Structure 1
């Protein structure tokens, strides 16, 4: 069954790579929010905030998927090859240049979609950004080295988003914490 699903996914990736990457990202950001609400925050199904999950999914569809998918294309043009050195260079560019900006944007967008004023959003970023960035550095460098070394470009976003279900749960909790 899983092999049939995987082959179907690969076939869709060949025919519609951009759309599939965006749908995958949005769906998995949404799954991260569900996990955040149900496992981390222990809200229970009766108290699940469906609107919040929809907001988080929209961030996945309209921000995470297109931005990360586009970044990986740019990164492959900036650093060519599939050697260990190239993977290390891509990881360093990803973590030093891209991750800090992406994380600030993600938290800022989620704050805006949650109705925070500009002042409250800035305060929330000041409070949460450094902790989130440090957490990012614990998780993502080894994941990204493996991703850039072993995974073809068209599957990188999906691999990252699968690993990111746990990360998205953390980010959703961090982004929605009052």
Structure 2
């Protein structure tokens, strides 16, 4: 097991963006599968694999790389240790990054689904506030622990591991039909 962990560390330190993007994609795909099977109660044979691939592709092309760079930016501009540093990072993360990233995420997802701009706007209006309220119930506490305890290189892994549940929620929320 220690050989596997050491191999992961080496690869992560050598190719941080690629590794973090792949792990994000895998966990976002798994979140969509969980949404379809657990929340939407589909059998495995009924899973919409295109939807899962679309959601997972957001992990590798958008969420993984952007979040990896964001965590690196926070570490270099604010620091890496101390409670004041952690609080500043959480404030920046939740007040600046989360609202903007969610808009970009929803817009990109709707674009991948080939929705018109009008449909995209309706979808964002129907989901954005609910998603952000849920975000503020979940992420500030997790990010405080993350920024205070976890080394920078492993912060996205922790976030994405916990985000399996968040991704399940997002996949379900964004796949619902809007009237």
Give TM-score, length-normalised by structure 1: 0.95
Deviation at 1:8, TM superposition (A): 2.8
Matched-pair contact (CA < 8 Å) for 1:37–1:173: yes
Partner in structure 1 of residue 108 of structure 2: 109
Matched-pair contact (CA < 8 Å) for 1:37–1:48: yes
Matched-pair contact (CA < 8 Å) for 2:78–2:88: yes
- 1:1-178 matches, cutoff 5 A: 1=1, 3-178=2-177
Matched-pair contact (CA < 8 Å) for 1:38–1:48: yes
- Which sections of structure 2, spanning at least 5 residues, go unmatched? none
Q: Residue by residue, what CA displacement relative to the aligned partner does 1:91-144 show, whole Å, maximum 9, x if unpaired?
A: 010000000011111111111111211101101100110000000000000100
The 1:39–1:5 alpha-carbon spacing in structure 2 relative to 1, beyond 3 Å, is farther
Q: Residue by residue, what CA displacement relative to the aligned partner does 1:138-160 show, whole Å, maximum 9, x if unpaired?
A: 00001001111111111111111
Cα distance in structure 2, aligned partners of 1:94 and 1:54: 27
Aligned length: 177
Secondary structure at the counterpart of residue 81 of structure 2: coil
Cα distance in structure 2, aligned partners of 1:33 and 1:7: 30
Matched-pair contact (CA < 8 Å) for 1:33–1:169: yes
Matched-pair contact (CA < 8 Å) for 1:111–1:176: no
CA RMSD of aligned residues (A): 1.2
Cα distance in structure 2, aligned partners of 1:47 and 1:106: 25
- Which sections of structure 1, spanning at least 5 residues, go unmatched? none
Deviation at 1:4, TM superposition (A): 4.6
Deviation at 1:43, TM superposition (A): 1.2
